Amino acid sequence: MGRRDIPIDVSATYDVAVIGGGASGLAAAFCAARAGARVAVLERDVFCGLPILATGNGRCNLSNTNLDPARYRHPDVARAVMGPDPEREVADLTDAWGIVTCSIDDRLYPFSRRAESVRDALLAACARQGVELCCGLDLVEASYERAAGGAEGQGAWNLVVEGPERPLRGKRGGDFHADLRARRRDLKQTPRVRHTVAARSVIIACGGSSLAMASCFGLPHIEERPVLCPVACSIDDRSRALAALDGLRVDARLTLLHDGIETWREAGEVLFRPYGVSGIVAFDLSRRALPGDEVVLDPFYTFSPEELDSLMSRRASALAPLTPGNPSWYDGFLARPLAELLTELGTTTIRLRVQGTADERVAQVRAGGIPFEAVDVPSLRISSSAAPYLFACGEALDMDADCGGFNLAWAWLSGKRAGESAAQAATRG
Ligand SMILES: Cc1cc2nc3c(=O)[nH]c(=O)nc-3n(C[C@H](O)[C@H](O)[C@H](O)COP(=O)(O)OP(=O)(O)OC[C@H]3O[C@@H](n4cnc5c(N)ncnc54)[C@H](O)[C@@H]3O)c2cc1C
């Protein structure tokens, strides 16, 4: 599935054109087509759905059993767009796409545990609805042509797209990755031509690099920055102390302090790196921590202060008093490198100063994008008279969330909302 490049129909006026065929764009296209619209997806890469393949380490953590709005950058917007029962809405969509899910703790995965089965099911569902997937196309210009006499409802967008002058050549009989590489190579080498595509409604679903698209449509834009990645931080006056802990994983709680005031806390596995901390809890921290903030790492968070005091006293009686420079006191309790650091600091917690994000190549999402001030919620219609019949969804908007399936849940449900709104606007004016 997904290797179909239906040439765009330049003689038609589509009801809905979706710019970007990733998670939110495919959800939007499916929902718009299901609502009766003729839909084209304009995707710059050689296939649609490719971003889904990398999710969840190839297993696709596609949602969460508790889609708490507080896990999103704008909880009120998330609540309004995703509705009062978002878990049910995601389940309705996955049912419609034929995806059987299972949960591991509170994370939802496809039963197959394979991201490609999510992508394939979604592409098959789009095909059943007659969605036209047009790949290798870059949007270069967009203008709205109002109907003669200014009757706004009958106008259309003219989308100037640039694409290869002939269908792309793949690698037949090869594996998917060989085919993908061959097509991408061909896309680069093939001369490009411009087409104009007409559509009554347009949905921006281009993902987390939306500046060019926002400029194309004359929209405001909040600068993007990669998040859900490691955090660079160090101990004041001991900038190299974490190097000794590199690669150590501990179950700990991170508490974030901004100007000394606690703003967030979360517990889970923390991976020490020479430059700071990584792992899921650190990824969630990266969405919130600012340079100069302080983070308290507590490896004993599962004990109450009283329990910890009592445990330490009992150990001191049974072993010997805890003295500085005697990390072996923690043998049987803590990993040695952590014990060395704690005995050197003379504390039971580690206070870290944040420098910023680190290793952004592994970032899972980008904060920033088209601001909600420019968008009607919950329809996700752009509220500018200069850009009528324009909608946005997914990461193109200024929305990001914690690890755990929250970002894909936003992609599916914001795509659904934008797709249904765009179809309704196009077919009913
Ligand atoms: C490594 C990794 C792992 C992740 N794992 C998870 C996970 O397990 N669970 C989870 O919830 N989230 C995960 N995420 C985040 C999740 O993938 C995103 O939140 C989600 O894909 C966003 O959907 P989107 O449709 O907005 O953007 P995308 O899925 O990125 O799709 C955007 C699409 O638009 C296309 N495009 C861009 N510009 C143009 C243009 N000008 N013209 C035409 N097409 C264009 C792109 O080629 C792309 O296909 C992960 C992200 C990464 C990077």
Is 176 found in the same domain as 294? no
Query: Is there a single domain that holds both residue 87 and residue 165?
Result: yes
For residue 210 and ligand 1, the question of a CB distance below 6 A is answered with: no
Last residue of a domain, one of 360, 386, 418: 360
Looking up residue 303, the CATH number of its domain turns out to be: 2.40.30.10
Q: Is the CB of 197 under 6 A from ligand 1?
A: no
| Residue 163, in any domain of the structure | yes
Answer yes or no: is 7 within a domain.
Answer: no
Does any ligand 1 atom lie closer than 6 A to the CB of residue 61? yes
Residue pair 255/295 in contact by the 8 Å Cβ criterion: yes
**Residue whose CB lies within 8 A of the most ligand 1 atoms, among 398, 408, 410, 416, for a mutation test:** 408
Atom of ligand 1 nearest to the CA of 207: 27
Q: Is 42 touching ligand 1 by the criterion CB < 6 Å?
A: yes
- Domain end point (choices 335, 360, 385): 360
Q: Which atom of ligand 1 is nearest to the CA of 60?
A: 8
0.75 surpassed by pTM: yes
220 and 275: one domain? no
Q: Do 327 and 289 contact (CB within 8 A), yes or no? A: no
Query: If you count DSSP H runs as helices and E runs as strands, how many of each does the chain have, helices first?
Result: 11, 20
Kindly state whether residues 111 and 163 are assigned to the same domain.
Answer: yes
- Determine the distance separating the centroid of ligand 1 and the alpha carbon of 381, expressed in angstroms: 20
Residue 104, pLDDT > 50, answer yes
A 10 A CB-CB count for 324 gives 9
Taking the centre of ligand 1 as the mean of its atom positions, its distance from the CA of residue 20, in whole angstroms, is 9
Position 375 in a domain: yes
CATH code at position 73: 3.50.50.60
Is the beta carbon of 138 within 6 A of some atom in ligand 1?
yes
Asked whether residue 123 is domain-assigned, the answer is yes
pLDDT in tens, 269-310: 999 999 999 999 999 999 999 999 999 999 999 999 999 999
The answer to whether position 2 is within a domain reads: no
Regarding the beta carbon of 224 and ligand 1, being less than 6 Å apart is answered: no
Q: Which atom of ligand 1 is nearest to the CA of 57?
A: 3
- For residue 5, being part of any structural domain is answered with no
Q: Is the pLDDT of residue 50 over 80?
A: yes
For the segment 356-383, what is each residue's pLDDT rounded down to a tens digit?
Answer: 999 999 999 999 999 999 999 999 999 9
Ligand 1 contacts CB of residue 140 (under 6 A): no
Question: Per-residue pLDDT averaged across 106-128, rounded?
Answer: 98
Shared-domain flag, residues 404 and 388: yes
Same domain, 61 and 80: yes
Same domain for 414 and 344: no
Spatial separation of the C-alpha atoms in residues 397 and 371, rounded to whole Å: 6
Which residue has 């507590």 as its token pair?
298
Domain's final residue, options 360, 392, 413: 360
**Separation of alpha carbons 76 and 72, rounded Å:** 9
In the chain, the number of structural domains is: 2
- Tell me which residue range forms the domain holding 411: 13-227+365-428
pLDDT in the model for residue 126: 98
Q: Are residues 354 and 307 in the same domain?
A: yes
**Domain for residue 217, yes or no?**
yes
Q: Are residues 383 and 404 in the same domain?
A: yes
CA of 207 to the centre of ligand 1 (A): 5
Does 102 lie in the same domain as 29? yes
Domain co-membership, 94 together with 219? yes
Tens-digit pLDDT profile for residues 197-251: 999 999 999 999 999 999 999 999 999 999 999 999 999 888 889 999 999 999 9
Q: How far apart are CA 177 and CA 377, in angstroms?
A: 39
* pLDDT band at 36; cut points 50, 70, 90: very high
Whether 348 and 387 map to the same domain: the answer is no
In a mutational test of the pocket of ligand 1, which residue from 26, 42, 44 has the highest number of ligand atoms less than 8 Å from its CB?
A: 44
Average pLDDT across the chain, whole number: 94
Whether residue 98 is contained in a domain is answered as: yes
Query: Comparing 78 with 167, which gets the higher pLDDT?
Result: 78
pLDDT of residue 151: 56
